[in-house]
Amino acid sequence: MRRILKIAHLIGLALFLGSVFSHVVASVLGGPPGSPGFLPARAEIVAATRALTLPGLGLAVLSGVGMAIVSPGLRRQRWFWLHVALAAAVVVSSLAFVAPAGQRALALATGAANAHDLAAALFVERVAGSVNIGLAIVLIAVGVIRPALRARIRARHVERRLRS
């Protein structure tokens, strides 16, 4: 069961990060507000957020919860709680800032919007999205480095026992 959850976790991470990077590419290729490719790029970003980014994040979170349930020892590890806190920050940022800002930018781009409001929505989306990418990279690092940390802690513990 744990292996299936790990696979689901990695798929969720791939969906989340892959779609976020595709948002960056679509945004750059779409050009600035007012250019011919801007509106289609915004529509693509909102659709990908709904179809890939948020479901990928949900899959990563749910499979992470599943792994914590099937591996009770995991919850005793300090790195795990750092991982949980960082994941919670990504979820909050995605749901409170990134997705709403993307939807707002699309809505403003389709109507006769104030350029300042559109720029503000794009700014929030860019900053919160960049923070999410950074947090996701740190999450990956914590998840990957953890076995080495556990091995070092065990080695120190064994060393201390041998000395006493």
Question: In the chain, where are the structural domains located?
Answer: 2-163
pLDDT tens digits along 73-119: 888 888 888 999 999 999 999 999 999 999 999 999 988 668 899 99
Amino acid identity, position 40: P
Instruction: For residue 65, give Cα distances in angstroms to 42, 87, 93, 99, 134.
Output: 32, 11, 19, 23, 22
Task: Compute the distance between CA of residue 129 and CA of residue 35 in angstroms, rounded to an integer.
Answer: 22
Task: Compute the distance between CA of residue 105 and CA of residue 127 in angstroms, rounded to an integer.
Answer: 14
pLDDT tens digits along 129-161: 999 999 999 999 998 887 666 666 677 777 788
What pTM was estimated for this model as a whole? 0.84
CB within 8 A of 31, min separation 6: which ones? 37, 38, 41
Joined together, the tokens standing for residue 55 give: 């479901």
CB 106 within 8 A of CB 46: yes
